Amino acid sequence: MQHSTLETARRHLIGVDPAALLHSRNRLAETGMARLGFLLPHQVKRALAAEALELVEHHRHWGELLPGGTEPVDDPPRHRIEVPPQAIATHANLIPQLYDCDVLRRNLSVVAAESVLPCPEPRRYAVTRVHHDELPQWHWDDYSFALVLVVECPPLEEGGFVQTVAHTHRDRQFPDVHRTLTRNPIHSWELHPGDLYLMRTASTLHRVYPFEHGRRTIMSMCFATRADLDRPDAARAAGQSENTPVGRFVPVLRVMTDHRQ
């Protein structure tokens, strides 16, 4: 099943309209982010979303694989969940296979107008779920690109959209987020389950806007440039976990597997 899904992805990637890639290149150059919903067919995005959700739902049973993991309990508190690359490589099929797909990287390189290369392990892919009372922070990433599939997200009116500040760079010694925000325009992006986008994450300050209810789940793939790989002090991003109290509100939640494009 996963093999045929990968082949479906490869065939689709080979036939992607060059004009669509060039349009996305212009958007990425202008805003630091480009929507790439056309890059993968719905069948493949749905399979990626299903695999991501399965990884999240079963992460508590892999305590030995997760940093700080504990035994499952009947009613655990809700924390930020970041399934690490090692667990994805062990328990998933399509996500690591698609990451290694040369046709995918070739198309991303067209959009980026430079070679898009695999990151050093283990920072290649992640599945992340955050809940509504975790305060998102503005940040840059350590590697140049992230390809992100939105699996679950709240409706726009409740927040949870992405905000970006393009053409900015982190001073690793003295990062000045507030000055960057006041001196550059902020772009806001409404996203839906099933949306796929590429971001220049090392040169685009970004965050998820705080949301009132529910949760947001994404599958992300991290890619590098040659300059990233040649940098001797290339850092490894660290995940964070925070407690999220359980409320009685039943949130509106849109899930990629119920979405058609």
241 vs 120 pLDDT, higher one: 120
pLDDT score recorded for residue 139: 93
Identify residue 234 by its one-letter amino acid code. A
What total of structural domains would you count in the chain? Answer: 1
Query: For 232-260, what is the mean pLDDT?
Result: 44
Residue 242 included in any domain: no
Around Cβ 250, how many Cβ atoms within 10 Å?
8
pLDDT score recorded for residue 257: 57
Residue 113 included in any domain: yes
The answer to whether the predicted template modeling score (pTM) of the entire model surpasses 0.85 is no
**Does 247 have pLDDT greater than 50?**
no
pLDDT score recorded for residue 194: 96
Q: For residue range 51-84, list pLDDT tens digits in order.
A: 999 999 887 565 544 444 444 444 444 568 899 8
Of 111, 115, 147, 164, which Cα lies nearest the Cα of 222? Answer: 147
**Does 114 have pLDDT greater than 80?**
yes
Residue 236 included in any domain: no
The CATH number that applies at residue 96 is: 2.60.120.620
| Residue with token string 């508190």 | 77
Percentage of the chain surpassing pLDDT 70?
80
Q: What is the 3-state secondary structure (H, E, C) of 11-80?
A: HHHHCCCHHHHHHHHHHHHHHCEEECHHHCCHHHHHHHHHHHHHHHHCHHHHCCCCCCCCCCCCCCCEEC
Query: Assign residue 171 a region: left if phi > 0, alpha if psi is -120 to 50, beta otherwise?
Result: beta
Residue 149 near residue 218, CB atoms below 8 Å:
yes
pLDDT score recorded for residue 248: 32
pLDDT score recorded for residue 76: 47
Q: For residue range 146-155, list pLDDT tens digits in order.
A: 999 999 999 9
Domain residue limits at 222: 2-65+79-228+253-258
Residue 230, SS3 per DSSP = helix
Percentage of the chain surpassing pLDDT 90?
67
* Bridge partner list, 255: 152
Residue 149 included in any domain: yes
